[in-house]
Structure 1
């Protein structure tokens, strides 16, 4: 099953890379609801050098902009014979990871991104790798107890081994019987034990926009329980919306309860078509995190796919998130159109 989107509201991110691409992406989505965000505050004055760590790199020297855009890439199935835009060939997938490593991207999980735990070296860029549907081409355990050769996770580990600093982490969103197993036993524990994130995709891949409030919460709780049966006590902290379909009461995707079980997510992932805002910026909305479908440079809707967007970010490096290398400082150019969210203003430094 893939996640071809049903009509839903657009991510709040205002894409500012290429005007033509902006228009094309907007055409895919319904109009954004009116924003309740207050006017952006003036850029804070830069702190004195004495207030910064003595070993901190100069933000300008690395082109730091921690209010820039973050690509959140979406994968489904690996197959030598793709039948939809949601399929990737193994060679295409490997080539994309190689490109990310060569261009200075560092994988982080969806929850690390959403909660601002972005421990990325100076001058490098976070990227979130997400996998929907728990397909066995994404992950399976081989006879040696490690990832089966040819699966997406095995490819990721191989690329990471040859590119120091390219973290082998990802967020995998599962339904019932994940990765072709009966109940997820073994596979989900391996992912947890190796720093991968296991996220909720509902047990039955439910279209939440067509469900009532109680059914929405039941579907999400059923997915949570499916995961926790395999990994008892595991804290499921993010949700990828099946089909990108937002519930009628949108906040129920973020938190709710059913039959005595509660859930609360750090972020909710759309199907999307454009890069996501920095988690430190006023543009970040945990209920509406856009994703980019992994896709080659040609083919159906390729203008909205990962190759096109990575090309645009490479051509416009000032638009992407670039780390200053200091965990408790948020650096950005004073001329940036983005502003830090109020809760991060105390750590923000304009230069």
Structure 2
């Protein structure tokens, strides 16, 4: 039982000079019953736990409703030039590129950057699927700006922006792996202008080495020198360091980790992922199958010749037919949702975000 301490107040009125007195009780501080305090704390903790359980149940139900599978596969598409008259198997016409983007939008894909992918910052709506659009070699066909800073019609970036306007929710972002060609711009000022525009519009700039030389068969020092030169090329133009590397020709060094981390002539790099040149969809960054030193990409091409099975049209067909193998978002970037039976495949790095259902 708490005790009351009496407090009395005396007031003299100005009109009569009479003194009015009154007393009131005040609970002494620090005299609360310890048992009552403990009970209140226990009740508060139970209430918080109940709210947490209710929230988890609600999020789990929402994930189950959209068949979320954030351990599923993600297509990383590889593009080079977007030109009217293709001369190599890597070239795509503007219409072919637009058609593929339209398909992605209609099949509920949402573009994310390579940096967002490797770091697990996949923030897309529930029921949607991430796709990573990558462009190699910094060709002028990918991006050129007019005098007002608007992408010129027919370039890959302009087409991407136009498709995004037609399909709300289809983010106009991509990763551009640059070399010294730098979109055909000769001066550092023009090059910085291009990279700044991309960064400010939410695009991701990746390292493709400065000179685009194969890293296969080179020594560790040679590999580090090539990668560091590409890193320096970018950071010398803008105050943003690349997060990923795309290997020239997809050729890995004899020790794969050399492309991921190293240093040369005062420049150090430590990337979240190294991308190859093609073949299959990529693993979720939340899965134990994810391998940062060799992330596969898919070459954009119709189902012809070797591409009948292993290029973009074929793989998008396969993912559409095998939707349970595809990454599907639960809409909450803070959780990693998946069917319970897939729990053994969650990588330890993200286990605290797991939301099995």
Shorter-chain TM band? 0.7 to 0.9
- Whether the 8 Å contact between 1:271 and 1:293 is mirrored in structure 2 is yes
Match of 1:22 in 2: none
List aligned pairs for 1:233-272, cutoff 5 A.
233-272=239-278
Distance 2:118 2:273 in 1: 6
Could you say which structure has the larger radius of gyration? 2
The range that moved more, 245-254 or 330-339, is 330-339
The range that moved more, 152-161 or 221-230, is 221-230
Distance 1:234 1:181 in 2: 19
1:72 to 76, 96, 105: 76
- Whether the 8 Å contact between 2:78 and 2:278 is mirrored in structure 1 is no
- Whether the 8 Å contact between 1:295 and 1:302 is mirrored in structure 2 is no
- Whether the 8 Å contact between 1:296 and 1:302 is mirrored in structure 2 is yes
State the Cα distance separating 1:56 from its structure 2 match.
7.0
1:214 partnered with 2:193? no
List aligned pairs for 1:24-63, cutoff 5 A.
49-52=53-56, 58-63=62-67
1:188 partnered with 2:195? yes
- Whether the 8 Å contact between 1:57 and 1:324 is mirrored in structure 2 is no
- State TM-score, norm by structure 1: 0.83
List aligned pairs for 1:154-303, cutoff 5 A.
154-182=158-186, 183=188, 184-231=191-238, 233-303=239-309
Match of 1:329 in 2: 335
Which structure would you say has the larger RCO, counting Cα contacts within 8 Å and 6 or more residues apart? 1
RMSD between aligned residues: 1.8
State the Cα distance separating 1:90 from its structure 2 match.
0.7
The unaligned stretches of length 5 or more in structure 1 are 1-47
State the Cα distance separating 1:318 from its structure 2 match.
0.5
The unaligned stretches of length 5 or more in structure 2 are 1-51
- Whether the 8 Å contact between 2:139 and 2:181 is mirrored in structure 1 is no
Q: Paired residues, what number?
A: 304
Q: Which has the higher helix share?
A: 2
- State TM-score, norm by structure 2: 0.82
1:81 to 72, 80, 85: 85
State the Cα distance separating 1:218 from its structure 2 match.
0.8
Distance 2:349 2:160 in 1: 34
Deviations 1:123-180 (A, max 9, x none): 0001000000001101111122111111000000000111111111100001103101
